[in-house]
Structure 1
Amino acid sequence: MKTFRYFLGASTIIMMMVAGCSSNESGDRTREHSQEEAVETHKNISTDLNDGIEKVLTALEELQQSTTNKKNIQSSAENLDEYWDVIEKQVEEQYPKDYVDIEKSLYPLLYEAKKEQQDIPKIQQLIEETKNKITTFQHKITAS
């Protein structure tokens, strides 16, 4: 009977040791899985941001093409404003310097384009500045 108790005790200890050793592997797998999820999330965020930037650039192109009609300018400016709003917070949080740089030409552009008495040459200049800044920003985030 004593032998059986020793055998049972030893078996229990061995099983606990084996379980302890394998739980470390599980922890490693969990860490690896978490890292993979973080990378995947970063890729999704970058993709969403890149898609948003594409929409902003498209809206800038539309605005540039509509500089002959005042109502079209205002409508295109509204679209541009809406597309920028979608990604604005993300850009501001993740890329604050780029955000400030882009806003220095984007907000004056939106203001000028929504006015009743528009300065078309100024709008065209601001469109070019904003397009250049956003394109540069797009290249920056695509490279990272």
Structure 2
Amino acid sequence: MKKITLFTFVLIGGMLLGGCGASDNAEEVKEVTPAEDSQPAAGDGKKEKESSNVEENQNLSSGIEKTISSVEDLAITLKSGADDATKLNEQGMMIEEKWDEIEKEIEEKYPEDYKNIEESLYPLIEESKKETPDSANLKTLADDTNNKLNEFHEKIKNE
């Protein structure tokens, strides 16, 4: 029992002494903690921006590859002589879906390339969605679109 009482007095005494020595000076605390608006070390922001640009280009490149693959699937269907309107409609919708994923980014960053690609891509999508798509027209549009997308893809990869 004496040990518990002694321990209690020592604990209370330590807390009182610790509380008396504390200071409420906010300036001291501010000096010890780093400033919130401090600048990053030299070069940190540049590396971060480069990393971000590389990642964005990789995402864009991946999206272009998916769109190219969808256009090639449509071209293969056309070359095989299949005039299955339902399959052509589905493939046209797939092309549109893949293009929609990257369209805004291309339009913002590469407006001239975007305009060039859309001149054949949108007619391709519209023709493929028709009840009875024109196979000859689709072949021409698919080839044009595929060439434009491949050229743009090469441009992006070389940046």
Instruction: Give TM class, smaller chain.
Output: 0.7 to 0.9
How high is the TM-score relative to the length of structure 2? 0.72
Q: 1:120 aligns with which of 98, 117, 135?
A: 135
* Rounded Cα–Cα distance in structure 2 between residues aligned with 1:72 and 1:116: 11
How high is the TM-score relative to the length of structure 1? 0.79
* Rounded Cα–Cα distance in structure 2 between residues aligned with 1:74 and 1:98: 26
Q: Does residue 54 of structure 1 match 2:69?
A: no
Q: Structure 1 segments of 4 or more deviating over 2 A?
A: none
Number of corresponding residues: 120
* Rounded Cα–Cα distance in structure 2 between residues aligned with 1:63 and 1:117: 15
CA RMSD of aligned residues (A): 1.7
Corresponding residue for residue 53 of structure 2: 42
Corresponding residue for residue 85 of structure 2: 70
**Is the contact made by 1:66 and 1:76 (CA closer than 8 Å) also made in structure 2?**
no
Q: Which consecutive residues of structure 2, in runs of 5 or more, have no partner in the other structure?
A: 1-37
The one-letter code matched in structure 2 to 1:104 is: E
The one-letter code matched in structure 2 to 1:51 is: S
Corresponding residue for residue 13 of structure 1: none
SS of equivalent residue, structure 1 residue 118 = coil
Q: Does residue 33 of structure 1 match 2:41?
A: no
* Rounded Cα–Cα distance in structure 1 between residues aligned with 2:94 and 2:40: 48
The one-letter code matched in structure 2 to 1:42 is: N
Question: What is the identity percentage for the equivalent residue pairs of Structure 1 and Structure 2?
Answer: 34
Q: Does residue 106 of structure 1 match 2:118?
A: no
Q: Does residue 97 of structure 1 match 2:112?
A: yes
Structure with higher Rg: it is 2
Q: Which consecutive residues of structure 1, in runs of 5 or more, have no partner in the other structure?
A: 1-25
